[in-house]
Amino acid sequence: MRYYAFACDFDGTLAFQGKVNGKTLSALERLRNSGRKLILVTGRILDDLIYIFPHINIFDRVIAENGAVIYRPFLREEKLLCERLPEKLAFELCKKGVDSLSVGQSIISTIQPYETKVLETVRDLGIEAQLIFNKGAVMVLPSGVNKSTGLRAALDELGLSHHNTVGIGDAENDHSFLSICEFSVAVANALPSLKERVDYVAGVDHGDGVIEIIDKLLDNDLSGFPSKSDQHLILLGKSKEGKEVRVRPYNTSILLSGTSGSGKSTFAAGFLERLSEYGYQFCIIDPEGDYLTLDDAVVIGGSKQVPVVDEVVKLLDKPEQNCVVNMLGVTLADRPAFFDILLSSLLELRSRTGRPHWIVIDETHHLISSHLTPSDILSIPKDLSGMLFITVHPDHLPRVILSEINIIFVIGESSKQAINAFSEILGQAPPSIPPVKLEPGEAIAWWRKPPLDPFWFRSIPPRSERRRHLLKYAEGKLGIDKSFYFRGPEMKLKLRAHNLVLFTQMADGIDDDTWMYHLHRGDYSRWLKESIKDDCLAKEIEDIEQMNGITPEKSRSLIKEKIEKRYTGPT
């Protein structure tokens, strides 16, 4: 199962004129009985909602007041998620004749056309607040509070991720929470602006639209309805033609193969960093301690400490936390058995929450043998989605795993041999491999499902690698043919800058004629493009070089600022 939470707006979505019909309630009950959690996300004041909606207990969490209040129906507990608005705001609005005023714990709402008076009062009182609109309603809330912040609080309490959430709404104030849901839906009566931004528009309105998407969820977990947004695709690098190479972070299984020392852990670390940036959770099973320096993960275990499986699971109970399971403290003989217990626990956690979204198994050939007994095969999940297998020997892995792999990445010198060995095990003809010698950071990608011919691409390195790269050009020593030389219009100078720090220092000291001579020739951008290999910075500097009438002082300042921002600032 991929979707574990269902987040739903109330007025205009679940309810019609404040009422929820029996068919819609039955659909919600069916969805809840499937093991999914239900979250109501509404702009209404909690007391008013409880009064008009006696079936509120069908929801596991309720976010009221447009994100300001969280309510736990079974415990009848509520919690304010932000500061209260000053009481004087409501008092002043009443004095100014603002009608239809409702005051909650941290929300004040009225109707259009009073938004001008509300905005003027907020400004005059010097209150840090925001106005949110909802089909004619005008709501005032503390800055930064919306349905998105409320939904995140509810998901955190339930131990679920927004990447495993379906959301449905109808109006302006639903944009925020629908934007973080992995799959977003608008009912047929929704505003056109909302329909344009969601993944799916129901064919019917209000509660019937809710029933429609619930039926599809229960039927096939929305497997036939992929998100149309590219925001959830993970960038790996660029092909020879300059096209971006991306993978879906779900319904995907990957095999990463390469010789020892070819850069498999570097490739994997870059991929995992970008998964983390998008909020996907991962767990790395690390037999050799190759992933101990990842910024986005906590390491459990060490060379003298056997990792405890319960500690791993407890850590991963937090959706935002990633984990590296360091197995150096586990003896070689005990590693397969420990791995079986760990993998079983991770899969059990995934069955309850949909997380970790990715399970990475390094040195897979040491942990999973190709000679499996029937009982061993049963322990391997049939669905390998969200699993990354890393190995020197793909031919040592069991056929039951290899046959389910969607994508293969091969790095190092033996790319052709690895793909041929893979194909031989599966009894199929090997594909044609591009005749290239792979340098560090380069890979051959082969999409098997759906099929795509293997192709070359250059991967994006992890942050640690990028930091080393930046440091090399900022403070290292480039070769004679890669350095920049200030020569001047009469070619009398030969001042060599063998890195970017030295270049900026020399720029301050040379005369204006020499500086402008190279500027007008485009020498600075050409050096950055050809020697530093930084096309983006080169384009920025080229734009400065082409500014009409720019002074030596101004051009120096702008170029130094661009270089320092990119190479000596935070990475």
Measure the CA–CA gap between 273 and 462, rounded to whole angstroms. 7
Say which DSSP state 306 is in.
P
pLDDT in tens, 120-168: 888 888 888 888 888 888 888 898 999 999 999 999 999 999 999 999 9
Type of residue numbered 46 = L
pLDDT (mean) for 509-531: 92
Q: Parallel, antiparallel, or unpaired: how do β-strands 102-103 and 108-111 relate? A: antiparallel
Residue 346's SS3 state is helix
pLDDT (mean) for 30-53: 96
As a whole-number percent, the residues of the chain with pLDDT over 70 amount to 95
pLDDT in tens, 318-330: 999 999 999 999 9
Helical H runs in 60-205?
87-95, 115-125, 147-158, 175-180, 192-195
What sign results for the dihedral spanned by CA atoms 225, 231, 232, 237? positive
- For 83-143, CATH gives 3.90.1070
CA distances from 472 to 442, 492, 498, 524, 570 (A): 20, 29, 10, 18, 15
Q: How many CA atoms lie within 13 A of 13 on its CB side?
A: 29
**Residue with the two structure tokens 């036939």:** 224
| Phi/psi at 290 (5° precision) | -90, -5
Give, to the nearest 10 degrees, the angle between helix 535-545 and helix 523-530. Answer: 180
For domain 233-461, say whether CATH 3.40.50.170 is its number. no
Residues of the chain within CATH 3.40.50.1000 domain(s) are: 1-80+145-228
Residue 294 neighbours by CB under 8 Å, 6+ apart: 269, 272, 273, 284, 322, 324, 462
Residues of the chain within CATH 3.90.1070 domain(s) are: 83-143
As a whole-number percent, the residues of the chain with pLDDT over 90 amount to 56
pLDDT (mean) for 277-293: 92
- CATH topology for the 1-80+145-228 domain: Rossmann fold (3.40.50)
pLDDT (mean) for 293-315: 93
Assess whether pLDDT exceeds 70 at residue 3.
Answer: yes
Measure the CA–CA gap between 494 and 43, rounded to whole angstroms. 69
Q: Is 320 exposed, middle or buried (0-12, 13-18, 19+ CB in 10 A)?
A: exposed
Residues of the chain within CATH 3.40.50.300 domain(s) are: 233-461
Three-state DSSP string of 200-225: EECCCCHHHHHHHHHHHHHHHCCCCC
CA distances from 339 to 306, 343, 344 (A): 12, 6, 8
Confidence class for position 100, pLDDT limits 50, 70, 90: confident
pLDDT (mean) for 336-353: 94
| Phi/psi at 130 (5° precision) | -130, 155
pLDDT (mean) for 283-312: 92
